[in-house]
């Protein structure tokens, strides 16, 4: 029992440190959406763990609440702005500890509802590497699911990472 307890933290560290290079990321998107336009700016990325993700979500939620009056008044702050501000916060968290966290913005055709956003039209949201798994995260509700289960994975138009 004691041995098992010692091994668990080590396993967690290995999973947390797992990253992805630009070719892996490109391949993951292209396997579902071969025609997607891919803009990846760095050669390698690292994975967030749940603690970093929770902290970033709290910060982003706080920022969205502070500016909610502005958002509601002019309606200019929409899905792409949620996605880019979330990406920016994740980048800031990465820079604090010298990590290049993988968090990108994707544009999709919203064929199916996801994360509380109904089907219809085009939509922007995030892809993010969480504990070594590429996830799609809806930055208006913070729901996320592995890319392999994301219902609109075959309708990704572009990625900016
Ligand atoms: Ca906008």
Q: Map out the domains of the chain as residue ranges.
A: 19-160
Which among 127, 106, 117, 105 has a CA at the least distance from the CA of 47?
A: 127
What pLDDT, on a 0 to 100 scale, did the predictor assign at position 17?
54
Protein residues placing their CB within 5 Å of the ion ligand 1: 78, 80-81
What pLDDT, on a 0 to 100 scale, did the predictor assign at position 73?
62
Ligand 1 center to 14 CA (angstroms):
38
Average pLDDT over residues 71-92: 87
Degrees to nearest 5, angle at CA 80 with 29 and 19: 40
- Cα–Cα distance, 11 to 141 (Å, whole number): 30
**CATH class entry, domain 19-160:** alpha beta
What does pTM read for this prediction? 0.86
pLDDT at residue 13 tops 60: no
Mean pLDDT of the chain: 89
Give the model confidence (pLDDT) of 18-39 as tens digits. 789 999 999 999 999 999 999 9
Ligand 1 center to 84 CA (angstroms):
9
Percent of the chain with pLDDT over 90: 77
Average pLDDT over residues 36-60: 96
């Amino acid at each position: 029992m004691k041995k098992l307890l010692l091994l668990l933290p080590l396993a967690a560290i290995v999973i947390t440190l797992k990253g992805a290079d630009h070719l892996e990321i490109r391949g993951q998107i292209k396997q579902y959406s071969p025609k997607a336009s891919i803009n990846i700016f760095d050669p390698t990325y690292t994975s967030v763990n749940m603690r970093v993700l929770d902290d970033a979500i709290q910060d982003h939620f706080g920022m969205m609440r502070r500016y909610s009056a502005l958002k509601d008044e002019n309606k200019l702050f929409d899905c792409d702005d949620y996605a880019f501000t979330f990406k920016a916060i994740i980048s800031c968290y990465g820079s604090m500890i010298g990590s290049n966290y993988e968090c990108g913005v994707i544009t999709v055709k919203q064929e199916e509802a996801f994360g509380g956003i109904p089907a219809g039209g085009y939509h922007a949201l995030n892809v993010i590497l969480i504990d070594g798994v590429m996830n799609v995260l809806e930055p208006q509700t913070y729901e996320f699911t592995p890319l392999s289960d994301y219902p609109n994975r075959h309708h990704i138009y572009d990625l900016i990472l």
